[in-house]
Structure 1
């Protein structure tokens, strides 16, 4: 296993230490890992899961190569691309095992935890990450507790419980639940399966782009339109784009177009102000609860990643999200409101002038139709 490394102060820590953040600046870790090229022409016969991209994954070079014996997997990944317009294609990540794209990162955290053998695993979530961590911990035979806001969708809490994990309902908002989890994470023998702080999660979500690249025959669209709350999919996409470009597997980097809910948009505000970091916003209710993050810990990295490829930020209102959810449902694609945010941005901001892929991140069965729809 490689080391954790702090991007701000260069502190390093072995993964086996269970340290979940930099002890000096308290920021999230990066990973001291360099991906090798993924040979496109050899993929056809590989495991039909995330592990097929073994050269690009920080755990694959040892026990889990290619999803071999013992590696945690539920057959995640390989979700289809479906055209929405002549230029815009949707990637149906709501068809993942737990009905959310978070499975891409959860499988990496569960496999890492399985090797480290902690006393217990904890996570915090507004719902989707928690259900995903719970499922993959069940697959790995790991004891798991998930801290969630008390107002989390009952359907998501039911799913967490069904997988054998213990939901810890915390009065207050998403950040209150995160603080409770972080306090528990400092106990001995606890592995904090944080989709925000642990960089292994990002190396799982980057397979989203590797799949698009594979399915488009070794190319990428002109733009990747991505939701931005804590930025776990966006930062994973940035990792993949940089790896593919560095290895000469794509000629040009696509623009990363980030989407936030208008009600909670600290990243969009900072980007358009030309700032390198955010001013934390106020947590207010919005249909896009999955990306309503007032102070994302990796904010500086998210802003840098969007700027690096000539991308931008757009915001969408609840009315636009509701309309996009209903439009997708009318096309046969029932997703939760947060999962419709990127399609809402395409429709509201006239982004159909170049080829683009949007993720449909979470199934509508998790939350139902947006109120008012």
Structure 2
């Protein structure tokens, strides 16, 4: 099957065919973007389509999925008069990462690698393991030693080989990238491969459909590597470019105060992270504890272009938010509570949607 779009480097603009490309730009080691133009989606035609993210076929760079698990079309429920929550923890592997993982698994299935490697703090790894199992691909998942035991169990259950790496999330990524440089290996990277963003952007397409062709005033989004935020920004750009929305929402990007390199750079007026490693501390929000996201420049630019800002939340605020959501009937992991914590401590005018990205069964209740 032909893959039509080419990769384009997000830093130096080198163009490379997807079918023969290494996992990052060979000239500058930057992450890839995708030369792909989304077509307009007609809301009137959606009613009879599959109840998954693949219903937005005009906007997706791959069609005819062979490894779908029915991901997408998660509920939108009100929390207050102005704040709604999108329940993306109701996915096959209990996190929003399924949106991007199905795209990467479908791409890998078509490319036919010898094996697949992924790196993750947990949720992306469980999604990679599940969708590679569905696609019949051999998979190894690299995780930090501190990863939640329940997430490790989930990865093993799907038959992936687990590689526990001493050190932090960055050390894990470096180990996986070294393995990805071997011949015949597909790097199942939710950070470097742009097909992942073209999966996560369906989060916003679903909001647009469910809200009758509009978007809320603010999209509040957790940011570690920025895969959901960049997907959201991509969807907003496509919807606006195709004349399907009149007004673009502001992006409120949320980080844990303990690990907040992007928030610090944003409020300092910087366009990128500084060369020196930022200070960080342990956090309950393990899913966004990323000290040096490769797409930092893109994330900062997207938030500024939207008229949005960054907010940080403390460990006590994460605990409080997780318990408050549980008291409302929604048990999510600590990382998934970050946006609700930010919404209650940094309220924005108008309507807001927060994503509840991962199920509480993955980590338990924060102590």
Do these two structures clear the TM 0.5 threshold for a shared fold by scoring above it?
Answer: yes
Residue 203 (structure 1) aligns with: 198
Which of 314, 319, 340 aligns to 2:311? It is: 314
Preserved CA contact (<8 Å) 1:161 1:167? yes
In structure 2, distance between residues paired with 1:278 and 1:220: 30
The C-alpha deviation readout for 1:142-199, integer Å capped at 9, x for no partner, is 1000000111111001000100111111111111111110000010100000001000
The SS at the match of 1:93 is coil
| C-alpha RMSD of the superposition | 0.8
Task: Please say if residues 283 and 293 of structure 1, whose CA atoms lie closer than 8 Å, have aligned partners that are also in contact.
Answer: no
Unaligned runs of at least 5 residues, structure 1: none
Segments of 5+ residues of structure 2 without an aligned counterpart are none
- Where 1:89 maps in the other structure, the secondary structure is strand
**Number of corresponding residues:** 362
Partner of 1:359: 355
CA contact (8 A) 2:104 2:195 kept: yes
Tell me whether 1:237 sits opposite 2:232 in the alignment. yes
After TM superposition, give the deviation of residue 18 of structure 1 in Å: 4.3
**In the TM superposition, what is the alpha-carbon distance from 1:257 to its structure 2 partner?**
0.7
Identify the residue that residue 152 of structure 2 maps to in structure 1: 157
Instruction: For residue 47 of structure 2, give the secondary structure of its aligned residue in structure 1.
Output: helix
Asked if residue 111 in structure 1 is aligned to residue 112 in structure 2, the reply is no
The CA deviation string for residues 103-150 of structure 1, in whole angstroms up to 9 with x for no partner, is 000000000000000000110000000000100001101100000011
* Residue 44 (structure 2) pairs with residue 49 (structure 1): no
2:35 alignment counterpart:
32
Aligned match of 1:303: 300
Q: Deviations over 1:54-98 (max 9, x none)?
A: 0111112xxx2xx4xxx2200000000010000000000000110
Q: Where do 1:1-373 residues align within 5 Å? A: 1=3, 2-60=5-63, 64=64, 67=65, 71-279=66-274, 280-351=277-348, 353-371=349-367
Query: More displaced, 270-279 or 225-234?
Result: 270-279
Would you say the 8 A contact 2:260–2:291 is kept in 1? yes
Structure 1: distance between partners of 2:347 and 2:221: 15
TM-score (norm 2): 0.97
Deviations 1:303-354 (A, max 9, x none): 0100111010000000001000000000000000000000000111133x31
Note if contact 1:18-1:189 (Cα within 8 Å) is conserved in structure 2: no
Matched-pair contact (CA < 8 Å) for 2:97–2:123: yes
Runs of 4+ more than 2 Å apart: none
The Cα shift of 1:283 comes to 4.1
Which whole-Å CA distance do the structure 1 matches of 2:253 and 2:296 have between them?
Answer: 12
